[in-house]
Amino acid sequence: MPGVSVKDKVVLISGSNRGIGKSFAIQALEMGAKKVYAGARDESQLAELIAKYGDKIVPIALDVTNQDHIDAAAAAARDVEILINNAGMGGGGPAVSNPNPDGQRMEMKVNYFGIMNLSSAFAPILKENGGGAIVNILSVAALSSFAFAPGYSASKAAGRSLTQALRVELGGQNTLVSGVFPGPVDTDMAKNVPMDKVSPDSVAIHVYEEIAKGSEDIYPDPFAVQFAKGVQADAKAVEKANAAGF
Ligand SMILES: NC(=O)c1ccc[n+]([C@@H]2O[C@H](COP(=O)([O-])OP(=O)(O)OC[C@H]3O[C@@H](n4cnc5c(N)ncnc54)[C@H](OP(=O)(O)O)[C@@H]3O)[C@@H](O)[C@H]2O)c1
């Protein structure tokens, strides 16, 4: 699949009010995107982006678990060329000891069905606009489960499987479908993770550089590169290392 440069493109990003999604919005415009549809559950949290970039930021009310929001976004944003499925959450807890079943269901709703439903709504729009790209923000947890977060890991593994399926299904319409597998990134989500973290800006820039080359599997930080190499060399050893913790 040919690469898709963000320059002069119209981009829609879910969860763009903070964290990596906000960096995706900022870096898209810094790298020459025409316009960013900034998805957020609370549009008032987009004020800083709008103050900086004016009408290049178009706020979109978007809870990815709400099909009415998704349908309204697809009706309003007919010119989207790059869809970034960034919205994500964790917190479902472990599987057996003190689990949070509602949280685990929500992990699947947001991290898996969110990608499924947004991609499904925007695939015809991308087709109409020449193919474009769908970029799914997954995690190294998609490659090997983290026992402290089984629901999150399962939702990200499901997202990876869906990414592969979408790649096949949308290949015929010239849509690049990329999966991104970050390690720890310095955002609210990882604030209690006692590990070295890369900046969300560095992740966004790397992802835009990689989709411009047509990369399908993107490992945007040194931890992710090492983790993926480890899984490729010896998946069982990584599983055991994950079980032992960091
Ligand atoms: N940070 C890391 O270490 C790391 C590592 C690997 C992968 N990731 C992935 O990177 C993506 C971005 O995470 P982040 O680190 O930027 O986390 P974050 O700072 O916690 O931001 C999460 C974003 O997702 C949004 N979101 C959550 N539920 C949503 C829903 N139902 N509908 C729409 N938006 C929703 C949040 O909106 P609200 O503000 O309304 O809650 C927020 O904008 C996620 O998919 C995450 O799994 C993160």
d(CA 119, CA 37) in angstroms, rounded, equals 15
For ligand 1, atom 19, name the residue with the nearest CA.
Answer: 19
* Nearest-angstrom CA–CA distance, 240 and 222: 20
Taking the alpha carbons of 233, 88, 93, 159 in that order, is the dihedral positive or negative? negative
Per-residue confidence (pLDDT) for residue 15, from 0 to 100:
98
Which atom of ligand 1 sits closest to the CA of residue 15?
43
Quick: pLDDT tens for 101-160: 999 999 999 999 999 999 999 999 999 999 999 999 999 999 999 988 999 999 999 999
Q: In this structure, what token pair is assigned to residue 87?
A: 């919205």
As a whole number, mean pLDDT of residues 158-167 equals: 98
Which atom of ligand 1 is closest in space to residue 89's alpha carbon? 27
- Condensed to tens digits (0 to 9), the pLDDT of residues 56-93 reads 999 999 999 999 999 999 999 999 999 999 999 999 98
**Cβ(220) – ligand 1 distance below 6 Å:** no
Mean pLDDT calculated for residue range 236-243? 91
The CA-CA-CA angle for residues 206, 39, 67, to 5°, reads 120
Of all protein residues, the one whose alpha carbon is nearest to atom 29 of ligand 1 is 87
Cβ–ligand 1 contact at 15 (below 6 Å): yes
Atom from ligand 1 closest to the CA of residue 17: 43
Class of domain 10-244: alpha beta
Nearest to 87 by CA among 187, 6, 171, 173: 187
Percent of all residues in the chain with a pLDDT value above 70, rounded to a whole number? 100
Q: Which of 53, 152, 208, 219 is catalytic?
A: 152
Say what the alpha-carbon torsion angle 146, 180, 173, 11 is, to the nearest 10 degrees.
130
DSSP 8-class letter at 82: E
Residue type, 40: A
Query: What was the pLDDT predicted at 1?
Result: 87
* Residue to mutate, 108, 143, 189, ligand 1, most ligand atoms under 8 Å from C-beta: 189
Please report the atom of ligand 1 found closest to the CA of residue 138.
7
Report which secondary-structure segment, H or E, holds 135. Answer: strand 133-137
How far apart CA 220 and CA 202 sit, in angstroms, is 8
Find out whether the beta carbon of 151 lies less than 6 Å from any atom of ligand 1: no
Phi, psi of 74 (to 5 degrees): -70, -30
The first and second tokens of residue 105, run together, are 């269901």
Q: Do residues 212 and 129 make contact, with C-beta atoms less than 8 angstroms apart?
A: no
Q: Picking from 65-79, 164-178, 199-213, 232-246, which range would have the lowest pLDDT averaged per residue? A: 232-246
Helix (H) or strand (E) holding 39: strand 35-40
Name the band, by pLDDT with cuts 50, 70 and 90, for residue 246.
low
Which contacts (CB < 8 Å, 24+ apart) does range 99-102 have? none
Q: Is residue 35 pLDDT above 80, yes or no?
A: yes
Q: Cβ(82)–Cβ(59) under 8 Å?
A: no
Ligand 1 pocket member 221 (CB < 6 A): no
CA of 15 relative to ligand 1 center, distance in Å: 6
208 among known catalytic residues: no
Confidence category of residue 164, pLDDT binned at 50, 70, 90: very high
> Which of 214, 211, 219 lies closest to 6, judged by CA?
211
Mean pLDDT for the chain overall = 96
Is the minimum distance from the CB of 92 to ligand 1 under 6 angstroms? Answer: no
For the chain, give every domain's residue range: 10-244
Q: How far out from the chain centre does Cα 91 lie?
A: 17
